[in-house]
Amino acid sequence: MKVESSLDLRYNIAAMYIAILREDIVTPEQAFAVVEDESIIRVYDNKDVADMVELKNQGLSYREIGQIYGISGDAVYRRIRRHKKRDLPDGSLERSTI
């Protein structure tokens, strides 16, 4: 079972825009190849990290979540940890049950 996220939708929309706007792109595969270019740094917003937290709460491992977002399990762990730290009133880290 594949878990869909807002990242999947953004991925498809980005490929569509690339196919429309670039004259050198003639097939959907070429557009997706541009989107998948590893040299592009991906930025995840708070909604993406909230989705990561929800996936973790549903029982997925950090590695599995990382595969969905194209990042390592360690990167997922750090993003979730920073996200939770930001949500605490005093900005301190709280021991998590994750």
Domain 42-93 has CATH 3.40.50: no
SS3 60: coil
Q: Looking at residue 96, what is its pLDDT? A: 47
Q: Looking at residue 69, what is its pLDDT? A: 84
Tokens 């997706």 appear where?
32
Q: Looking at residue 38, what is its pLDDT? A: 56
In angstroms, the Cα distances linking 58 to 1, 5, 21, 47, 86 are 13, 14, 38, 16, 22
Q: Looking at residue 21, what is its pLDDT? A: 87
d(CA 23, CA 90): 51
For residue 5, give the nearest of 61, 48, 41 by alpha carbon.
48
Q: What is the pTM of this model?
A: 0.51
Indicate the angle between helix axes 62-69 and 73-87, nearest 10 degrees: 100
d(CA 56, CA 47): 14
Which parts of the chain sit beneath pLDDT 50?
Answer: 1, 93-98
Domain with CATH 1.10.10 in the chain: 42-93
Q: Looking at residue 93, what is its pLDDT? A: 47
Contact yes or no for 62/75 (Cβ under 8 A): no
